[in-house]
Amino acid sequence: MGRNQARRQHRAALAPGQGRQYGNSRHVAAGQCHHRQSCRRRRDAARCASGLEGRVENQRGQIEPEISVMEREMPMPQTNLPTNLPIGSGPSVRRLSRGATISYGERKIMVGGGAPVVVQSMTNTDTADAIGTAIQIKDLARAGSELVRITVNNPEAAAAVPAIREQLDKMGIDVPLVGDFHYNGHTLLNDFPECAQALSKYRINPGNVGKGAKRDTQYAQMIEAACRYDKPVRIGVNWGSLDQALLARIMDENALRSQPWLAQAVMYEALVTSAIENAQRAEELGLAADRIILSCKVSGVQDLIAVYRELARRCDYPLHLGLTEAGMGSKGIVASTAALSVLLQEGIGDTIRISLTPEPGGDRTREVIVGQEILQTMGLRKFAPMVIACPGCGRTTSTVFQDLADKIQTYLRDQMPVWKKAYPGVEGMNVAVMGCIVNGPGESKHANIGISLPGTGESPAAPVFIDGEKKLTLRGERIAEEFQAVVLDYVKSHYGQAAA
Ligand code: SF4
């Protein structure tokens, strides 16, 4: 284990809000630290060993490198909870934030202020291609993206934005559009008023609005455009494009410390400071506080968690959460899920975007589905019926149950655009598809509808359970079609208007 990794683990063991964060270190009062055996230095001015360089005293009073103590002793976090309470579950209380409304026509999306966590996405088409971009936005919106961001990177793209909006209106897609600006946003918003009007929100990267004396002027021009057109903004800091002047200032301040922070802590501080100072500047320029959303994106899981915990602690603006450059395939999904789950569980995050790199020819809507699945599996929102399926093992050597699980999952998601309106509440339904008798009947009984397929050597029959009771048995070649019909009947009878 590396030294930094040990420190991060150590910090993570502290209860949220416990102790005081100093960049990369959390200093705690003696007795507060869960790693009390490891933190020999807490006796020294109540400072936690996790934030210090050098050597420490071990439990036998010997001096040894700090890392060896951390490696040897990683006790489980302790809690002071009474032991006679029932085991609880669910996420922590949501962080209180102001609500910012993003609207287009009658469609209003509240971010923060206690509203459900919003799923958003971003196109990867050339925005100047109005038709191609409108089609991808339609696909993202139909998949469930509640906001869609498009890059507005040049005059051609800015000129296309009103046409994109028009195309979407013709297709009946009222999803609010967010314009992503870098370098020339102040010019584009000024030169293309119809673009400024057609967008429902502007994303401003304070590290990419200009340099030197121009920076403040150009940032102010963008905020003034937001005020003029009455649009909310996301002040989106990214560590790949951090405001270099601000970073230099924070580094200078760090150099004056008697014990300078590690470079990583300086970077965290610069990210958080950039977001908050630019939000304060926007308010000074006349933008209402409830028109501001913040983000501080980084590409490392532990970095993201550390930065957002601190950002959440220091302000009450709603927070846009996402791991930037998460990557491709399972790595991107796992990294995003790991980072966002920790923060969402702590009540941090008001809107999410999953920045997956699509495989060549891959479907852009995947990032929407992954975002929804993170929220739904955490119990924060419901978007579509969930399919519970066993992984399969040597007890089932055919692919019948895999095919059935895949078919039913695709069927359920495909029906949702219609079902959502016709069968309110259906998004909370659970369907179990199990491979054999070992866990099949038991798991199926916990679902609204469950089917236990025959494993190798079992009788070729598939009992179907509805609301915990075995209702029928399917046999033969058409099990998938017949099970689908059973599911549809259940949906109609339990979620249709007549059932209300
Ligand atoms: S339910 Fe049966 S087939 Fe599925 S994993 Fe368990 S034992 Fe294997």
Q: Hey, do 99-383 and 387-496 end up sharing a CATH topology, with the first three levels equal? A: no
Selected residue with higher pLDDT from 6 and 97: 97
Q: For the domain covering 387-496, report its CATH number.
A: 3.30.413.10
Print burial letters for 138-163: b (CB count within 10 Å at least 16), e (below 16). bbbbebbbbbbbbbbbeeebbbbbbb
What spacing in Å lies between the alpha carbon of 388 and ligand 1's midpoint?
12
At 16, the pLDDT band (50, 70, 90 cuts) reads very low
The CA angle 410-412-413, to the nearest 5 degrees, is: 65
Give, as one character, the DSSP assignment of residue 261.
P
How crowded is residue 457: how many other Cβ atoms within 10 Å of its Cβ? 8
For residues 490 and 487, what is the distance between their CA atoms, to the nearest angstrom? 5
Is-contact 245 213, C-beta < 8 A? Answer: no
Alpha helix locations (H) across 423-478? 440-446
At 48, the pLDDT band (50, 70, 90 cuts) reads very low
For residues 422 and 347, what is the distance between their CA atoms, to the nearest angstrom? 32
> Per DSSP, what are the bridge partners of residue 357?
328
Q: Is 188 in the pocket of ligand 1 (CB under 6 A)?
A: no
At 88, the pLDDT band (50, 70, 90 cuts) reads confident
Query: Average pLDDT of 354-362?
Result: 90
Give, as one character, the DSSP assignment of residue 467.
T
Q: Is the pLDDT of residue 201 over 90?
A: yes
Is-contact 244 207, C-beta < 8 A? Answer: yes
End-to-end CA distance of the chain: 57
Q: Is 212 in the pocket of ligand 1 (CB under 6 A)?
A: no
- In a 3-state reduction of DSSP, which class is residue 266? helix
Tokens of 121: 């996405």
Tokens of 414: 């495909």
Is residue 481 marked as binding? no
Would strands 469-474 and 462-466 be described as parallel, antiparallel, or unpaired? antiparallel
Is-contact 453 434, C-beta < 8 A? Answer: yes
How crowded is residue 86: how many other Cβ atoms within 10 Å of its Cβ? 5
**pLDDT, averaged across the chain:** 86
- In a 3-state reduction of DSSP, which class is residue 461? coil
Q: Is 386 in the pocket of ligand 1 (CB under 6 A)?
A: no
Range name among 108-112, 153-157, 282-286, 414-418 with the lowest pLDDT average: 414-418
**Percent composition of the chain: helix, strand, coil (DSSP 3-state, to 5):** 45, 20, 40
Q: Is 455 in the pocket of ligand 1 (CB under 6 A)?
A: yes
At 46, the pLDDT band (50, 70, 90 cuts) reads very low
Query: Average pLDDT of 338-342?
Result: 97
Is residue 195 marked as binding? no
Give, as one character, the DSSP assignment of residue 319.
B
CA-CA distances (angstroms) from residue 385 to 71, 377, 442? 44, 11, 19
- Main-chain dihedrals φ then ψ at residue 487, nearest 5 degrees: -65, -45
At 203, the pLDDT band (50, 70, 90 cuts) reads very high
pLDDT at position 490 is 97
Is residue 436 marked as binding? yes
Q: Is the pLDDT of residue 395 over 60?
A: yes
Give, as one character, the DSSP assignment of residue 427.
G
Give the pLDDT confidence of 418-461 residue by residue, as tens digits.
Answer: 999 999 999 999 999 999 889 989 999 999 999 999 888 888 88
What spacing in Å lies between the alpha carbon of 440 and ligand 1's midpoint?
7
pLDDT at position 28 is 39
Q: Is the pLDDT of residue 269 over 50?
A: yes
- Main-chain dihedrals φ then ψ at residue 430, nearest 5 degrees: -115, 135
> Per DSSP, what are the bridge partners of residue 452?
434
pLDDT at position 132 is 98
For residues 197 and 176, what is the distance between their CA atoms, to the nearest angstrom? 12
What spacing in Å lies between the alpha carbon of 435 and ligand 1's midpoint?
5
Q: Is the CA virtual torsion 385, 391, 394, 399 positive or negative?
A: positive
Contacts of 84 (CB under 8 A, 6+ apart): none
CA-CA distances (angstroms) from residue 21 to 26, 71, 314? 4, 22, 11
For residue 440, the ligand 1 atom closest to its alpha carbon is: 1
CA-CA distances (angstroms) from residue 63 to 1, 34, 35, 55, 190? 20, 21, 18, 6, 64
The CA angle 40-43-47, to the nearest 5 degrees, is: 85
Please tell me the number of Cα atoms within 13 Å of 478 on its side-chain side. 4
CATH class, domain 99-383, is alpha beta
- Each domain of the chain, given as residue ranges in start order, spans 99-383, 387-496
